[in-house]
A and B are shown apart, each in its own frame.
Chain A
Amino acid sequence: MSGGNDTLSMRLSPFQKIYLLLVAGFIVGPFLPVIIQSLAFRWAWPELLPGTWWLEQREKSMLPLAWDYVLSPYSRVWEATVNTVFIGLVVTAICLAICLPVARLLARESFAGKSAFEFFLSLPLIVPEAAIGIALLMIFIRMGLAGTYAGIIIAHLIPTIPYMVRMLTAVYQGLGRDFEEQAMILGARPLQILWRVTLPMLLPGVVAGALFTFLVSTNIFLLTFFLGQGQVITLPTLLFSKISGGNLDTTAAGITLIVTLPGIILLIISERFIKEEAFGKGFGS
């Protein structure tokens, strides 16, 4: 191999080394001042570190400060966390139940209008969320679903279904029919085949799809904010209300870190289950 050709060597070029460091700094660097801010009491311009820390003021103050406030019921952080997890779990369960049979059909059978259906399935990904959110709100107000858990859960199905179907279809395609056919030849009944052969083999893909759906649901802001009407708050909408004024005070910094936490947990779990190839699926071709 010719020595100077960087594209083909398996080692990083000097540019790439610097680039990787810069990107890492861009992505996680800004969290450092947020952590500092969450621990500050007074952090005046142009100090690089706070002049007074939260722990110094803690005993002197009558009101809960910084983390004391964030972790108290006044901040509604706990309520928002419970809501986020609850909505995410229900959305994931419903999504899984309705997407599994469809994924099997798409992977294994042909039917009239299949390609039209597949195209329609990817539409929610490319229709702007604001359009859907406001249009749905109009309908949900009439139906009494605005500001309810049911309304938000139904709305969350729209952006999660396309991802779930794609991931599960890929799983079914990779599965092959041999094992199921053998079970059938050996006299297993359809339900038995589903329960004892198909599902165990699908499990890794199902876990990946479920994690991904949960992730998407917990990250949704716009649909929850528009349709929740302030009556149902989740972590993203709670943080929005804290920073909508355009500045980040001590408690807002603490809440920012709390909102980041589920993402870090999901990142660590999902790395084991979600294959990177899942994101590389082409579009409607």
Chain B
Amino acid sequence: MTARERRTRILQMLQLLPILSVLVILFGGALVMALLQSLGFAPWFGINTFPDFSHFGSLWGSQTFWVSLWLTLYYATVSTLLALVFGTILALALIKAFPGKWLYKYLYKLPLMIPYTVGIALAVIMLSSGGVLSRIVAFAGLIDDPGQFPQILKTHYGWGIIAVYVWKQTPFITLAVYAVLLGIGRETEEAAAILGARRGAIFFRVTLPQILPGIVSSTLICFAFNVGAFEAPFILGGGFPDTLPVVAWRYFNDADYTLQLQGMATVVSIGIVAGVILFAYLWVYRRYERRMGRH
């Protein structure tokens, strides 16, 4: 290596350094510390039994953990899928020309710009037993007491949670798919139509394979977010057993500080589950891409 090459090398490293330190020290460091603690390393509490798998043992051994895991994945998956379907249909409509399109393009992006807590407030006023939907049903003469309105919020079906996620993430997926649609143009669809393909065939065999990269990256981000989200299940969820992030938070704030280690085991479990699912998803997608002859 010449002196000149070495100099550019050092210069490059210097430029990468700030981001590397934030990501490696904070992000990576946090994950490593979480793992160490979940394995019994917490000298500041006077606990150091590393490596000790008992925290994972007692966590994974309890039945409620598996219920929590199921609820977490159920809310995350259902809302991602619904947002994907709604978002894709919306993106396909948005590439058409229609009057007022400029206004619509502002309007549909609103949820992207505001926090999830606003979405939760909207769910509360619409869906709670004294909420707007219940008043409309009463106005139609179907019920005469708020107690008769079927409970939508605070059940383990999680309709409220799912509604908030779908409300917030449909625009996100729409935007991702719409951007790809703008990029690919319409020539291939036209060619398929001229060759006699029908609507369904054109979508599933021509359009869908082309928008797949946008779909995969946006659903990946949504799913990961939903698995780790806290505020919606905390307010709108059915209570015990909670989703995993809420469980971790409760352990962490327990008066018994040794439970913090179990909280860390929960945190690590969330990471493992999300990691395994996302990598499996990416792996399947890569295989599909290779089969299609891309990459």
Contacts and interface: CB of A to CB of B under 8 A. Distances in A.
6 contacts: A8-B193, A10-B97, A27-B110, A126-B224, A128-B227, A282-B214
Interface stretch (A67-75, A191-199, A241-249): A241-249
A178 interface: no
B121 A246 contact: no
B220 A126 contact: yes
A66 to B, nearest CB: 15
A82 interface: no
B213 interface: yes
Interface stretch (A55-63, A134-142, A202-210): A134-142
A175 B113 CA distance: 28
A135 B267 contact: yes
B198 to A, nearest CB: 8
A186 interface: no
Nearest to B251: A134
The 3 A-B pairs of least Cβ separation, nearest first, read A128-B228, A280-B179, A130-B245
B128 A247 contact: yes
Contact of B110 (A33, A236, A239, A263): A263
B267 A98 contact: no
A34 B120 CA distance: 12
Interface in B91-117: 92-93, 96-98, 104-111, 113-117
Given A128-B274, A246-B235, A111 B228 contact: no
A283 B214 CA distance: 8
Contact of A109 (B12, B89, B189, B263): B12
B107 A128 contact: no
Nearest to B90: A23
Interface of A: 1-2, 5-12, 16-17, 19-20, 23-24, 26-28, 30-31, 33-34, 37, 45-48, 97-99, 101-102, 104-105, 109, 111, 117, 120-121, 123-139, 142, 154-155, 157-158, 161, 165, 215, 218-222, 225-226, 235-237, 239-240, 243-244, 246-248, 252-253, 256, 259-260, 263-264, 266-268, 270-271, 276-285
Contacts of B153: 246
B22 interface: yes
Contacts of B22: 98, 154, 157-158, 161
Provide the main secondary structure of the chain B interface: helix
Interface stretch (B31-39, B46-54, B56-64): B31-39
A225 B107 CA distance: 29
Q: Sort chain B's interface into a size bin.
A: 35 or more
B225 interface: yes
Interface of B: 9, 12, 15-16, 18-19, 22-23, 26-27, 29-31, 33-34, 37, 44, 86, 89-90, 92-93, 96-98, 104-111, 113-118, 120-126, 128, 130-132, 134-136, 138-139, 144, 146, 153-154, 167, 170-172, 175-180, 182-183, 186, 189-190, 193, 199, 202-203, 213-214, 216-218, 220-221, 224-225, 227-231, 234-236, 244-245, 248-249, 252, 260, 263-264, 267-268, 270-271, 274-275, 278, 282, 289, 295
Majority secondary structure of chain A interface residues (helix, strand, loop or mixed): helix
A221 B235 contact: no
Contact of B108 (A16, A23, A98, A282): A23
A206 to B, nearest CB: 17
Contacts of A266: 113
Given A48-B136, A131-B270, 18 more contacts: A1-B193, A23-B86, A24-B108, A30-B132, A34-B122, A46-B134, A121-B19, A126-B224, A129-B245, A130-B230, A215-B113, A219-B114, A221-B230, A247-B124, A252-B121, A267-B109, A280-B182, A282-B217
